[in-house]
Structures are given as C-alpha cells and as structure tokens.
Amino acid sequence: MTVVLFDLDGTLVDTAHDLGLALNMQLARHGQPALPHDDIWPIASHGSRGLLALGFGITPQDANFEAMKHEYLDLYQSVFTNNPQFLPGIADLLDALDAKGIKWGIVTNKPRRFSVDLTKAVIMGNTNLYERAACLLCGDDAAQPKPAPDTLLMACVAANALPSECIYVGDAERDVQAGKAAGMKTVVALFGYIAETDKPAEWGADALIDAPSEVLSFL
C-alpha cells in the first residue's frame, strides 16, 4: 500500500467538544437544556444532521430542518477552531508514516469552509495538519459525498495512486461503503465516534482496529 487516507472527525481529530458546544449554544437559544459530552461523542461523526436529530429530534424531512441546520453551522463557525486535537496516538502514526515515506491524506464529508481552517488549527511540530497532508478532499468537493466514492477517487488522483494502492480509515459505516465502492482496503477506527448501537463488525470492512498504530501493520 502506498497511500493511507483518513476520515477527519473521530478518526484523526477529536472535534466532538466544539461540535457539541455549538449544539448546546443552539439548544440554549431555543430554551432547551444542554446535553452532556457523553451523549454527543458517539454522534459527532454524523455532522449537523446527526446532531440536530440528537438535540431537537428533527430530520431533513422536517420543514424547519434547513433553517435549523444553517443556524447550527453559523454557531459552529464561531467555535470550530477552539479546541481541535489529535485523537490519542494519531500524531505518532502520522509521524511514522512520514518517516516511512508513505503518503497520507484526508477525505471528509465536512464542508471545505470548515475543513481547511480546522486542519490548519491542528499543529504538527513547526507546521500543521493541512500542510502535512498529501491531499484534503471535502464533502462539497464532489456532487456526491460519502458513502459515494467520488471524493475518495479524487484523492487518488491528488495523491497519484490507484485505489488498489490505498487504505481508507474511518469511524462510520459510510466510510466503509465509500472505500469499498472506490476499490480500496477499508479499516474501521474503533477508537472513533462509534455509538453503542453501532455494529462495526457487520459493516464489511477489511479490518477493525483499536489503536492508530495498528494501521502500520497493513503497509
């Protein structure tokens, strides 16, 4: 394998604090009580759709969903670079990949308006996550985000690699679906935002890992 591609939220970076902060700000605005971090953590990987379902019980089929989504994203815009941190073990893994000369990149469903500044806010030595990654593909870079394979295939082009030469690591079923559709080996990060009701063993991934360092065994 020559390229390792990662999901962003809940795989590389812990963004649950700021995602949850924005949700609790919105709940307060609507006179609702705040939710504890433990409730938000397993939902954080599902973005605004999952968080609005958690906080307000609404779905895209509800008439007020788009307005609530825009309100949430505006609130998130004000806090999203407050506290992004690598998940434990990720910085060491990325350093090890660099030392081996193995390219790595990021493929996320997060919109580009958040992804670029967020990755720039995650410091890596004298630089940052954005500068170190071989590529960054975002949910709005293609007509169809994950679980469609489009952004993963775009990442292959950016990294000058074939899909068969890539591993995709993520913490959601859609990551596995997208990776398989793209023709990549897929790995589930069990250390990510996985709910008790999730069944990652049934997602059809090539492997499940408990720690970031286990990625090295597939190279």
List residues with catalytic annotation. Answer: 7, 9
CA distances from 34 to 37, 40, 65 (A): 9, 10, 20
Nearest partner of 98 among 208, 219, 15, 191, judged by Cα: 219
> φ, ψ for residue 14 (rounded to 5)?
-90, 105
Q: Angle at Cα 52 formed by Cα 65 and Cα 63, nearest 5°? A: 15
Contact indicator for 165, 159 with CB cutoff of 8 Å: no
Nearest partner of 11 among 194, 202, 155, 200, judged by Cα: 194
